[in-house]
A and B are shown apart, each in its own frame.
Chain A
Amino acid sequence: MGFLDTLLGRTKPVPPKLDALFSLPTAAITLQAAMEFTPTGTGSVCFRAAEGRAFHDIEAEVRELLSMGTDAAQVEVTRDSYGFTWLVCRHSSDDMEALVTDLHAVNTSLQDGGFGPQLLCTLVGFTDPRGRKLGIVYLYKRGTFYPFAPTTGEHRDNALELEVRGNIGSDLPIEPDLSRWFPVWGAPGL
């Protein structure tokens, strides 16, 4: 925020950064090689639905777009207890590229409709042979990623998260400010 923005009490809605998502497939390969974490094939986009007709139309459009695609991803829409909407896409677990393309399609539709600032995060699910769950969360406003590893209840495996950060740090821009690694409990697709 500039000086004038402060004086006049204005904040500009933050536009999302979309392109960094495409580095996810590389990171998925690294994760598999280094830590035996494989993609579950599930990814989701989380956004805050705005009220009114305009947003509703765009949301319907996005759903239609995804279910009409060539390899017809399964799309599911859920609302979490915070009022945020999650669009969940399912692909086969080895097709990370297709998943990322679908997620990107959701983002661009919202962005083109003028609702880019409503995007919160994207989450891609991973799991390892020991049954541990891991989500790689992409923060649209920061353009950075962070790992989220929920265990039982509302607890997270911080050691695993930091280990993941060490492994994929060179593939993805990792959020440096740990206080922004907020938990997404019960996120669909984890």
Chain B
Amino acid sequence: MVRTRYAPDRGLQARMGLTLFLLGLVFVAFVIALVFILAAFKVGAGAIIFFAVLLGGGLAFGSLFWSDKIALRASGAQEVTPEQAPKLHGIIDRLCALADMPKPRVAIAQADMPNAFATGRNSQNAVVCVTTGLLRRLDDNELEGVLAHEMSHVAHKDVVVMTIASFLGIVAGLLVRFAFYSELFGGDRRGGNNNNGGALPVFLIVLAVSAVVYAISFLLIRLLSRYRELAADRAGALLTGQPSALASALTKVSGAMSAIPTKDLREAQALNAFYFTPALKPDTTSLSTIFSTHPSLERRLQQLSEISAQLGR
């Protein structure tokens, strides 16, 4: 009987499963609520909802399909060949062989901010990107830890999962906007099959329901994102067998991240969901943690030291 030292974290998986279930539940409740409201007020707003779903779906699909190109363009990264970056390619070659996965493309972004991200709709189109600031600050072991974390994102198909999970939020957000700007919810032009008094409440109710759904799904997506970061930390640490190297990289990068001027931070925030550590000022108040895409440094370090203890036994 071969022992395994790579016990899965069932608690984390259960929490992630519950979060996904809740997201699905909110989605179903949202659809039922819309159908119910519109039926009750006899408003024919099917077209606008169809349009919101279509546009939301299109946005989600587009950002998924071109995720690699969008992220590379946004970060100004350039793909590099093995001749240009032999060390980086060498580390990734070995990680791919250890994890038995196809090799992603490798890119480097000219930026002093130490960070890394992985994107792409599937493992055949995946890109792993690191910044020059990261390459300069980390030693080889730490760099390997960061890359193993990013490759775990690829293996877990995090871009796909997060895009699909965000779809609900996108649709709800679009509906809020449509409801706000459009007069179509006013029943006047719909041939008078409902009275004038009904138009305003419908508009307000749809607005309120969509706003609530948007808020709840936003929080759930952020929660899911934090769980998936923890899962990637875990898988990455087990892949290299060096959780402490990843922990060391995290502390280095977090320390350097907070020392960066605010101007750069604002430019970088749009890309946060993909990053290894978010480009935000460290803020340890409890409210900010439920809105953040990444778990706190303490939480990540704690998990890594648990894995380290588990490997050493």
Is the Cβ of A142 less than 8 Å from the Cβ of B5? no
Is the Cβ of A112 less than 8 Å from the Cβ of B8? no
Beyond A48-B241, A141-B97, is A9–B8 a contact (Cβ under 8 Å)? no
A58 to chain B, nearest CB (A): 11
Is the Cβ of A142 less than 8 Å from the Cβ of B100? yes
Beyond A11-B152, A111-B2, A114-B3, is A6–B97 a contact (Cβ under 8 Å)? no
Query: Residues of A contacting B17 with CB < 8 Å?
Result: 7-8
Is the Cβ of A141 less than 8 Å from the Cβ of B242? no
Q: State in angstroms the CA–CA spacing of A154 and B235 once bound together.
A: 32
Is the Cβ of B161 less than 8 Å from the Cβ of A48? no
Q: State in angstroms the CA–CA spacing of A82 and B90 once bound together.
A: 8
Q: In the complex, how many residue pairs between chain A and chain B have their CB atoms under 8 Å apart? A: 133
Is the Cβ of A48 less than 8 Å from the Cβ of B2? no
The number of chain B residues with a CB under 8 A from chain A is: 52
The answer to whether B240 has its CB under 8 Å from any CB of chain A is: yes
Is the Cβ of B98 less than 8 Å from the Cβ of A51? no
CB closest chain-A residue, reference B313:
A54
- Which B residues between 234 and 272 are near A, CB-CB below 8 angstroms? 235, 238-245
Is the Cβ of B312 less than 8 Å from the Cβ of A52? yes
Query: Residues of A contacting B137 with CB < 8 Å?
Result: none
The answer to whether A69 has its CB under 8 Å from any CB of chain B is: no
Query: Residues of B contacting A141 with CB < 8 Å?
Result: 97-100
Is the Cβ of B155 less than 8 Å from the Cβ of A11? yes
Is the Cβ of A117 less than 8 Å from the Cβ of B98? yes
Chain A interface size, under 10 / 10 to 19 / 20 to 34 / 35 or more:
35 or more
- Which B residues between 143 and 172 are near A, CB-CB below 8 angstroms? 144, 152, 155-158, 160-161
Is the Cβ of B2 less than 8 Å from the Cβ of A54? no
The answer to whether B75 has its CB under 8 Å from any CB of chain A is: no
The answer to whether A81 has its CB under 8 Å from any CB of chain B is: yes
The answer to whether A169 has its CB under 8 Å from any CB of chain B is: no
Q: Which of A7, A13, A112, A121 lies in contact with B97, CB distance below 8 A?
A: A121
Beyond A51-B244, A82-B94, A82-B144, is A6–B157 a contact (Cβ under 8 Å)? yes
The answer to whether B219 has its CB under 8 Å from any CB of chain A is: no
Query: Residues of A contacting B156 with CB < 8 Å?
Result: 6, 9-11
12 contacts between A and B (CB under 8 A): A6-B160, A9-B231, A11-B156, A11-B235, A12-B6, A14-B99, A51-B312, A81-B140, A83-B144, A113-B3, A114-B2, A139-B97
What 6 pairs across the A-B complex have the smallest Cβ distances? A52-B312, A50-B241, A182-B93, A9-B231, A141-B100, A114-B3
Having A50-B241, A118-B241, A183-B93, one finds 15 other A-B pairs with CB under 8 Å, namely A8-B17, A10-B13, A11-B99, A11-B152, A11-B235, A13-B238, A48-B242, A51-B241, A52-B308, A81-B87, A117-B6, A117-B98, A179-B102, A180-B102, A182-B97
Which residues of A line the B interface, CB within 8 A?
A: 1, 6-15, 48-55, 81-84, 111-118, 120-121, 139, 141-142, 154, 177, 179-180, 182-183, 185
Which residues of B line the A interface, CB within 8 A?
A: 2-6, 8, 13, 16-17, 20, 82, 86-87, 90-91, 93-94, 96-100, 102-103, 140-141, 144, 152, 155-158, 160-161, 227-228, 231-232, 235, 238-245, 308-309, 311-313
